[in-house]
Structure 1
Amino acid sequence: MVVRKDVFDVLIIGSGLAGLVVAETIGRHLDVGIFSKGETTDTNSYRAQGGVAAAITKEDCWENHWRDTLEAGHAHNDLDNTATMTKAGRDAIQMLVEWGVLFDRDERSHLKLGKEGAHDYPRIVHAGGDRTGAALIHTLHKRVRKHVQFFNEETVLSILKEKGNCVGVKTVNKQGNIHFRYGAHIVLATGGGGQLFSQTTNQPFATGDGYALAYRAGAILRDMEFVQFHPTLFATETGTAGLITEAVRGAGARLVTADNVRLMANHPKGDLAGRDVVARAIHSVRRHGEDVFLDVTPVLNLAERFPGVASLCKTYGYTSRLPVAPGAHFVMGGVVAMPDGETNVPGLSAVGEVASTGVHGANRLASNSLLEAVVFGRSVGRKLLERPGKVFGNPVEQSLQKSPLPPTKFEIRQVMDEACGVTRDEQTLREASDFFRLSFQSSYESDDPEIQERHNMSLVAGMIANAALKRTESRGSHYREDHPVKDASWQDVSLTWSIKQTKEGN
């Protein structure tokens, strides 16, 4: 085993959009290292089919966008942070254009604007139709690769601390070699944890590592019960095969039953209702053994406007009615952070899906995730330029317990599907909480990345199950069949988690 040490100004864990925006902001001024468990394209950002939401027309305004975000989030949002994000939409689009992103435009060179679920106005900017994420990642990576050092296929096992400050990371590469990389500041930009469930839109490396790393480093997490399930994954005989962006519904596609009955006909916003509402409607039909389809017949120029969806249709032999099912998509909760990434742990920032800035509330508004990554990624970078910090001399590893083998991924997903899916109830949540209790109450570590990944998954699953059990109401993506209505007393309550709380028995 080879052990290496390196020193940087800033270490960014995660190579998705949020991390790349931070790197683009600081890379010409500071020494930056970026870690990825896979290759450049192995991120949720790369897979994003939706676009960037921004109020940029005369008919629209940031206040409208703000109100739509609050409505989708069921009033559980941080009002100020949500305003900060939505106000910055126009400037974010302009910045991306200046960086070289080729957004879709009409014959007059005006930006094409799509409409997605729970938006009252067309305000979604796309690139390459339904391949916006890929366009953003390719553009940003091309810009930053000249100025930062990438560590691909290198997994971060733990965050190193000295005198309460985060000062580095312990990593392992695919050859099994251990590395200690030191930095004046650590930026968590790891994305979410969709792989805790069997059906997900997330890429295979999205196992909740960032939440677990932050927890063990002493960070506070909140709102982990709020996991969004995207309504329309392409359903196959063995599971699901990819996301069908709701922009297709914005272009006229309709959800129908096997008998061709409109599924969302009675909702005021129809097929463009919030993701939580549509996911439950589809789940309700499918749990009784019936299929739900997305009828794309009304969509003009499907192949041109949505090449990814058209490719799925060709692969599986469908032309008009596409079978759909919900799947885990986005975690609204995460590491408590300010818009500039600041957490309660000195030297540790969080940005993107891994962070909880409060902008998504109990259910994320479509296409706000890429906006959040750009706006707050830029804010994190600017703060780091103002206060770059210094590298400490003698960081030490945390004293974590060597562990028995954690549950397998299959076991974790089986429990999470049953207890923490689209709908939930006390009995299954209590069983899930008991199942993950050992992982949740202990801080285990392993130098084997596969074993450590399962430890991370078990820890995060325990947070989600415990939070879902404690929140005795239904709000947004969190739906309790035994508590099926909102409770006003819960509106502004966030359940928090930290290793300190756990040790104190809270």
Structure 2
Amino acid sequence: MSDILEEFRDHVVIVGGGLAGMMAALRLAPQPVVIVSRGKLAGGSSSALAQGGIAAALGADDTPSLHLQDTLRAGDGLCDEAAVRSILADAHQAVAALERAGVSFDRDATGEFAFGLEAAHQRRRIVHAGGDGTGAAITHALICAVAAQSSISLLEGVEATAVLTADGSVSGLQILGPTGEAVIPSSRIVLATGGAGGLYEATTNPLGNIGQAIVLAARAGAILADLEFVQFHPTALACSRRPLPLVSEAVRGEGAILINDLGDRFMVGVEGEELAPRDVVSRAIAAQLAQGRRVFLDARSALGAGFAARFPTIHRLCHEAGIDSAHDPIPVRPAAHYHMGGVAADIRGRSSVEGLWVIGEAAATGLHGANRLASNSLLEAAVMGLRAADDISGTLSRNVSLGGLATGTCAADASAVRAIVSRQLGVIRERCGLQSAIASLLPLARSAGASRDPALTALLIGVAAILREESRGAHARSDFPEKRARADRSFLTLEEGLAHADGLVDNFARSA
């Protein structure tokens, strides 16, 4: 029997303690909020690991229209242009809100923002803090602000296992903590659980980021979007550490080049060269690795002894791996980094389920399209955290009657899923591999074990990937290498995904 946590009844419930979730909680003050986090606040979030910064057209030589052009180009025809315009227009407000919360962004000698440059941006527009420690600086400031706000309660070390609904609307959150199961009665829930990179063996994400919001929202009846589009960061540090440390795109923005172990600069002749969109660079590196080559990021000429001052976090990570960033080329490889797909959400953060908002990487607003533009993610998290809070503030808490509780819930474990996902849902995909992955994942997704939820997320990604018979942005099919003249965003429900999976598995079994 689950305990009913009456002390949190009528609170706004936020699942996830990264940038988006904390921004929403702070904006809602003094309205009562409870944050539910699997670990310590921000401890398991990608926000804390972010190196590059926040893309914002705030420079004298920049405009939102140029930022829009870059975002649409990187999104490869699948951005929702209205959503892009709307979110980018709030960049100044988001940066200002972060500064009010205590974030100190890096500035130059004149007191202006010290803008960085990243791939596929026409201008230096990346606002950063602490050099390459932007995520850590932002989350530290927000954690302090949350701790000082009496209207925000924290439930740490607690896993959300189900969004409960009654008559099609949110009625509560089922959770699992050290003392067992419990339910928070609430008509307003925000999912801000991050992405799905933890489904992969090689990832820059915390290993607990396994698409939790996708499963929670899908089982509550929400529409999902763009699940096939998983962005692989081209330059993760190739080492034994997990998750893989990120070597920020900003290093290439400062002039570092990519070479293989023969010393060949293989991006020469590619439009944009080292600063081409991430999907292009990831596939180029993957091709080198498939040929048995090793790949390095060479910053010796561009930065040399200045590397440590500009990128102190990366310098430290390299040092821990036995690499001298000033004198050695840095070994790199692609790694799962960002999920453009997620729960379909509008520009207020609303999902298709009444009372359920989804923000940050967990959401698919249409900002990123088929391939996220560098540093638009922290921008979206900040903007949508503020917007969802403003939208929630305009709603009234409803009296809720709890429907049936989810059964067979347990803490999720992706260890049985990672090999399947890494092998068949990686940088390059093809039909037979996708069918094989779906056939392996379907029984796990229907099981009652710890693999159930991560397997379901991976299954839905696999179904979306097999249905998109083209190569676009971060989704590359070796059996469909061309891009269609026209393509639309993909939308999927849980029922549709499982029906497709059943049909594919039947066909796969007959052809085996």
TM-score, with structure 2 as normaliser: 0.92
Hey, what's the Cα distance between the residues in 2 that align with 1:133 and 1:286? 30
SS at 2:403 equivalent: coil
Hey, what's the Cα distance between the residues in 1 that align with 2:131 and 2:386? 25
In the superposition, relative to structure 1, how do residues 398 and 219 fare at CA in structure 2: closer, same or farther (>3 Å)?
farther
**5 Å matches for 1:184-333?**
184-236=187-239, 241-297=244-300, 298-299=302-303, 301-319=306-324, 320-333=328-341
Amino acid at match of 1:90: H
Matched with 1:396 is: 403
Matched with 2:373 is: 365
SS at 1:184 equivalent: coil
In the superposition, relative to structure 1, how do residues 428 and 439 fare at CA in structure 2: closer, same or farther (>3 Å)?
same
Report the Cα offset of residue 254 of structure 1.
0.9
Matched with 1:478 is: 475
SS at 1:43 equivalent: coil
Does the alignment pair 1:497 with 2:493? yes
Residues 174, 405 of structure 2: 8 Å contact kept: no
Measured against aligned partners, the alpha-carbon deviations of 1:116-146 in whole angstroms (never above 9, x if no partner) come to 0111111000001111111111111211222
Amino acid at match of 1:225: E
Hey, what's the Cα distance between the residues in 1 that align with 2:251 and 2:267? 15
Out of 341-350 and 234-243, give the one that drifted further: 234-243
In the superposition, relative to structure 1, how do residues 428 and 99 fare at CA in structure 2: closer, same or farther (>3 Å)?
same
SS at 1:243 equivalent: coil
Matched with 2:509 is: none
SS at 1:117 equivalent: coil
Hey, what's the Cα distance between the residues in 2 that align with 1:237 and 1:144? 34
Report the Cα offset of residue 501 of structure 1.
6.6
Hey, what's the Cα distance between the residues in 2 that align with 1:23 and 1:237? 36
Hey, what's the Cα distance between the residues in 2 that align with 1:407 and 1:34? 19
Amino acid at match of 1:66: L
Matched with 1:438 is: 443
Residues 4, 185 of structure 2: 8 Å contact kept: no
SS at 1:460 equivalent: helix
Question: Pick from 167, 170, 179: which aligns with 1:166?
Answer: 170
Report the Cα offset of residue 2 of structure 1.
7.8
Measured against aligned partners, the alpha-carbon deviations of 1:71-107 in whole angstroms (never above 9, x if no partner) come to 1010100010000111111222222222221001111
Question: Pick from 89, 113, 130: which aligns with 2:115?
Answer: 113
Out of 255-264 and 358-367, give the one that drifted further: 255-264
**5 Å matches for 1:1-20?**
3-6=3-6, 7-20=9-22
Structure 2's unaligned 5+ residue stretches are 504-512
Hey, what's the Cα distance between the residues in 1 that align with 2:342 and 2:26? 24
Matched with 2:153 is: 149
Report the Cα offset of residue 419 of structure 1.
0.8
Question: Pick from 444, 456, 459: which aligns with 2:456?
Answer: 459
Hey, what's the Cα distance between the residues in 2 that align with 1:279 and 1:503? 32
Hey, what's the Cα distance between the residues in 2 that align with 1:303 and 1:247? 13
Structure 1's unaligned 5+ residue stretches are 446-450
Measured against aligned partners, the alpha-carbon deviations of 1:235-264 in whole angstroms (never above 9, x if no partner) come to 026887311111011111111111221121
Does the alignment pair 1:417 with 2:422? yes
Residues 236, 334 of structure 2: 8 Å contact kept: yes
Matched with 2:347 is: 339
Measured against aligned partners, the alpha-carbon deviations of 1:251-286 in whole angstroms (never above 9, x if no partner) come to 111111112211211122111111100110111011
Measured against aligned partners, the alpha-carbon deviations of 1:35-88 in whole angstroms (never above 9, x if no partner) come to 111112221111111100000122110011011001101010001000011111
Measured against aligned partners, the alpha-carbon deviations of 1:131-190 in whole angstroms (never above 9, x if no partner) come to 1111111111211222300111100111122222112111111x2421211222000101
Out of 285-294 and 431-440, give the one that drifted further: 431-440
More strand by share: 1
SS at 2:11 equivalent: strand
Question: Pick from 88, 91, 94: which aligns with 1:92?
Answer: 94
Question: Pick from 331, 341, 357: which aligns with 1:349?
Answer: 357
Hey, what's the Cα distance between the residues in 2 that align with 1:408 and 1:85? 34
Hey, what's the Cα distance between the residues in 2 that align with 1:23 and 1:98? 15
In the superposition, relative to structure 1, how do residues 293 and 87 fare at CA in structure 2: closer, same or farther (>3 Å)?
same
TM-score, with structure 1 as normaliser: 0.93
Residues 460, 497 of structure 2: 8 Å contact kept: no
Hey, what's the Cα distance between the residues in 2 that align with 1:327 and 1:84? 30
Report the Cα offset of residue 398 of structure 1.
4.7
Matched with 2:393 is: 385
Amino acid at match of 1:121: R
SS at 1:415 equivalent: helix
In the superposition, relative to structure 1, how do residues 62 and 288 fare at CA in structure 2: closer, same or farther (>3 Å)?
same
In the superposition, relative to structure 1, how do residues 22 and 10 fare at CA in structure 2: closer, same or farther (>3 Å)?
same
Hey, what's the Cα distance between the residues in 1 that align with 2:266 and 2:226? 30
Amino acid at match of 2:385: G
Amino acid at match of 1:107: A
Hey, what's the Cα distance between the residues in 1 that align with 2:497 and 2:233? 32
RMSD, matched Cα: 2.1
Residues 38, 152 of structure 1: 8 Å contact kept: yes
Hey, what's the Cα distance between the residues in 2 that align with 1:215 and 1:250? 39
**5 Å matches for 1:60-139?**
60-139=62-141
Question: Pick from 22, 26, 48: which aligns with 1:24?
Answer: 26
Residues 2, 183 of structure 2: 8 Å contact kept: no
Residues 216, 499 of structure 1: 8 Å contact kept: no
**Percent identity over the alignment?**
37
Hey, what's the Cα distance between the residues in 2 that align with 1:177 and 1:171? 8
SS at 1:21 equivalent: helix
Does the alignment pair 1:54 with 2:51? no
